[in-house]
Structure 1
């Protein structure tokens, strides 16, 4: 069945969905959407996704067309419909294991209301692209409050991994051998900051968890563009990001 993923690889939720499609062996037609240039606000895109955000997925089958928005809804759908049921259920078991699904849902909900709310990458991009005379102001007035807001959430994650005392290493959110879609959602969010140069030195278990995700083949492949963007930011604007005071 033809499946089109409308996304952008500098978007954390977009990368999470694309990584999952690769992990599950789902072939998609990837259509890059210039969300920074306003493409999500066009009429044609609003007809696909009324929320006008990326990612969006369109599945066509037997004359029916299913448009889906919101990365978490897309990922649970993909896991429920993937042909490799055993593999998909590792990422999200759905009704096959309701208790495990509930634990994944718990972390997805927490991520969206906590870690995701402190997304600062667009401010980092603004700092990187603006005149030097304005960089300190962006750091002080926009980035610093988000950095401070994220600290308690990182401490929550660090404490969670510490209490697991699991044999699996690197750690996963559920403390078992396999990452889930919750690991992908939150991992892509925080990896964006790691790419820009944040080291998470004060949160070694969070850093180990991120490193474990980053070692996965499809995570590496889909992250190449954010790695390149992060490298440019570090080289040209890193001194303005107060990296030594974060993590």
Structure 2
């Protein structure tokens, strides 16, 4: 029986989990959860799916749980990503994303960048504030840009510089784009951070000041499953670009 995935494609962590499921060729049932309108706080979700009231969340049927007689529930994207790699039917494909005990040093480096992601990239997520700007009255748009988006943009700059430096350190002159933990095979660290940053790329931001970050993001976004799962965020970004006029400072990272 397939894993049940409770998620929404406007959620960066949700997309990371869905992309990995597809990369591992693992069947799943999609359940869209309207987190923006509070569906994660409804009793059915809290009691049946995830008491933490967040997405993504998965429910693994009992038959898939190493002989367990009850289903297994799990929230928090990083925990889900690691669990999926540890229990994937295709162990070799999973090990490429997260090798576990087979390569403790590489795994530790992946864990480091996943931990770094929370306070240095996700902390400065601006996509949902951009959506608020898109929906708000014209008289408030410049105020939102100045008081909300500009501080987030400024706070994200050091993190982009850190990523640029890390990617530069991995660049041995190979024509292929290096990933955060070395080599050209992406890991869970690349996936989590790329999903986070891709949201603002979809809106129209350019990372010209950080060319290695831009190239790395382009490489991740060109992957088949990344592209398919990101289609809705691409559409939303296009809508925002076409309607926002001069309100968005799309040269913030140029």
Q: Smaller-chain TM-score range?
A: over 0.9
Q: Deviations over 1:46-83 (max 9, x none)?
A: 12212211100110123311110000000000000001
Residue correspondence of structure 1 range 206-217 to structure 2 within 5 A: 206-217=213-224
Deviations 1:177-224 (A, max 9, x none): 200011110000000010011111100000000000011000000000
Q: Distance in 1 between matches of 2:24 and 2:138?
A: 44
Query: Could you tell me which residue of structure 1 aligns to residue 57 of structure 2?
Result: 56
SS of the residue 2:71 aligns to: strand
Inter-partner Cα distance in structure 2 for 1:194 and 1:36 = 21
Alpha-carbon offset, residue 104 of structure 1: 0.3
- Aligned pairs for 1:104-123 within 5 A: 104-123=110-129
In structure 2, the residue matched to 1:40 is: 40
| Offset, 1:246 | 2.9
124-133 or 40-49, larger mean C-alpha shift: 40-49
The answer to whether the 8 Å contact 2:4/2:58 transfers is yes
1:53-132 equivalence runs, <5 A = 53-62=54-63, 63-132=69-138
Paired position in structure 1 for 2:4? 4
Match of 1:229 among 210, 233, 236: 236
Partner of 2:29: 29
1:230–1:52: structure 2 CA closer, same or farther, 3 Å change rule?
A: same
- In the other structure, the counterpart of 1:189 is 196
1:156 to 138, 159, 162: 162
Aligned length: 247
- Describe the shift of the 1:164–1:238 C-alpha distance in structure 2 as closer, same or farther (beyond 3 A): farther
**In 1, Cα distance between the equivalents of 2:99 and 2:106?**
7
Cα distance in 1 for partners of 2:177, 2:252 equals: 25
Deviation >4 Å, runs of 4+: none
Counterpart position of 1:137: 143
Quick one: distance in 2 between partners of 1:238 and 1:105?
40
1:171 aligns with 2:178: yes
Instruction: Please tell me whether the aligned partners of residues 49 and 68 of structure 1 are also in contact (alpha carbons under 8 angstroms).
Output: yes
Larger displacement relative to structure 2 (73-82 or 156-165): 156-165
TM-score for both structures, normalised by structure 1:
0.97
Alpha-carbon separation, structure 2, partners of 1:168 and 1:56: 38
How many Å separate the matches in 2 of 1:168 and 1:105? 27
SS in 2 for 1:117: helix
- Corresponding residue of 2:66: none
- What's the CA shift for 1:165? 2.3
Distance in 1, Cα, partners of 2:45 & 2:38:
10
Q: Which moved more, 1:91-100 or 1:214-223?
A: 91-100
Q: Whole-Å Cα distance in 1 between the matches of residues 125 and 220 of structure 2?
A: 19
Residue 17 (structure 2) aligns with? 17
